[in-house]
Structure 1
Amino acid sequence: MADVKYFASMMLVFMGSMDCLTTVIGTAFYGTQELNPLIAGLVHSNLPAFVALKLAITVSVGIIFILAERALKSTENVHDKSFKVAVTTLRIASVGIVIFLFFVVLNNIIVLLRIM
């Protein structure tokens, strides 16, 4: 069973995947628009590349959070104030991204339900 400390990273990957899935369903079948201007053109020009890019970024960010936590835990200065600030910042950032992605997916689902 996966360790609890990786839960935020797993949720990030899950929510990012759900964002990708709901975006693909909306754009491919219902004519919705991707709102991210950096990858919006890719949705209509090359959907497989969009999915690959979106999932690669999502998994990469999840892995980065895991590696950052491992790096912090391997330090000898676990009692320093800067260590505690870094760990807290990392946790807030990972939970914040998961919450943001939750609202993105919720928005995508609401848009899809209104169209259907």
Structure 2
Amino acid sequence: MLRTKASEVEDGEQEERMSRFIKCYDDEYHERMVFMAKKSMAIERFNNQKLLPIVEDVVKLSICLRNEASILRSSAPTDLNTPADLKEIYSSLCKVSLAEVILFN
């Protein structure tokens, strides 16, 4: 609007300033739009409802994990001459224990 008025009164300096302003505004438009899009996506992410699992499913999984842990504890070799088996069992037991902790939380 100011650029048009400057053209009407033949003010070249004012018209040039308005042209530079419009160019800067257009150049920054993409950045502003990306910022606003990211901001609205973040807000949407926090506003989404998280579904809770059914209690029966949690109980079944907890029982399964406990059973698996007891099987792994009982199958641990008594002699330490087989480090590969012990390492595999220990690794599996760690994974099951971590799953139990995550499920508890």
Q: Which has the higher contact order (CA 8 A, sep 6+)?
A: 1
* TM-score, reference length from structure 2: 0.39
